[in-house]
């Protein structure tokens, strides 16, 4: 006689960037082991790979995980985690008044959302004729990204150029190579390049506002937690 099969519930969520409905399931013991091992390693690359594998498995391999905007991937993973191990996460938050006291706060994972800043756009208007359409950095782009490396920053900006609109002519990404793109980007003035950087600075982020009191100073604080790592602190 064969062993019984345990049915796993499925849920739905709305993908922030596309507004599409996505079916997912909680992670099972096999995925939990992947996550626990990655957390024990305390290595960013292992954690990134664990998130990729878990999201891929728990969304029934319906997503192109490596091509997803990072904030979409983080949001999907957080919802999977909430349905898997509990909808409240305990997080240590550093109190800003003394910068040494950590306060444990409860974060309701189902209340965390992707915040879209007012005025944010992926269309960078350089002048009356030329507009750059940007794509959001994907999981794959950010996997080994070093924010302290100037060359890496320029490379990431280049990778996120989706198309260049010149009047009625649209140059798709496939229409130009990396060398041509570098020449184009190098021709921008400081203001135009700053507008491109603003796209990254104002990108949607996984975000939650938490309120807490420093038990030593009795001062109350409100802090915005951003990005997946903040909810595992």
Dist. CA 14–CA 95, nearest whole Å:
33
75: three-class secondary structure by DSSP: helix
Task: Report CA-CA distances (Å) from 109 to 17, 165, 212.
Answer: 19, 40, 17
Kindly give the parts of the chain with pLDDT less than 50: none
In this prediction, residue 146 carries a pLDDT of: 72
User: Which residue do the tokens 């280049």 mark?
Assistant: 158
Helix (H) or strand (E) holding 71: helix 70-85
In this prediction, residue 189 carries a pLDDT of: 95
Average pLDDT, the chain: 90
pTM: 0.87
- Residues for the chain: how many in total? 233
In this prediction, residue 145 carries a pLDDT of: 73
In this prediction, residue 167 carries a pLDDT of: 94
Give 33-88 pLDDT, tens digit per residue: 998 898 888 777 788 889 999 999 999 999 999 889 999 999 999 999 999 988 89
Dist. CA 219–CA 194, nearest whole Å:
38
Domain locations along the chain: 1-86, 88-112+205-233, 123-201
In this prediction, residue 130 carries a pLDDT of: 96
Q: At what angle do helices 70-85 and 44-58 cross, to 10 degrees?
A: 70
Dist. CA 34–CA 47, nearest whole Å:
9
In this prediction, residue 233 carries a pLDDT of: 55
């Amino acid at each position: 006689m064969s062993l019984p099969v345990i049915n796993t519930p499925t849920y739905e969520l709305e993908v922030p960037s596309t507004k599409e409905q996505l079916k997912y399931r909680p992670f099972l013991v096999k995925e939990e082991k992947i996550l626990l091992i990655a957390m024990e390693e305390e290595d960013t690359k292992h954690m990134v790979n664990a998130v990729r594998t878990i999201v891929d498995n728990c969304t029934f391999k319906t997503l192109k995980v490596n091509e997803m905007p990072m904030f979409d991937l983080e949001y999907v993973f957080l919802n999977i985690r909430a349905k898997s191990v509990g909808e409240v996460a305990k997080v240590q938050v550093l109190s800003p008044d003394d910068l040494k006291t950590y306060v444990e706060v409860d974060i309701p994972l189902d209340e965390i959302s992707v915040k879209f800043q007012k005025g944010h756009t992926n269309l960078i208007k350089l002048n009356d004729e030329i507009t750059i359409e940007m794509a959001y950095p994907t999981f794959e782009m950010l996997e080994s990204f070093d924010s302290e490396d100037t060359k890496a920053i320029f490379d990431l900006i280049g990778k996120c150029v989706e198309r260049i609109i010149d009047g009625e002519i649209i140059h798709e990404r496939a229409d130009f190579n990396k060398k041509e793109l570098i020449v184009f980007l190098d021709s921008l003035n400081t203001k135009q390049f700053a507008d491109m950087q603003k796209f990254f600075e104002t990108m949607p982020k996984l975000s939650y506002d938490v309120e807490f009191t420093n038990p030593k100073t009795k001062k109350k604080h409100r802090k915005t937690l951003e990005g997946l790592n903040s909810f595992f602190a």
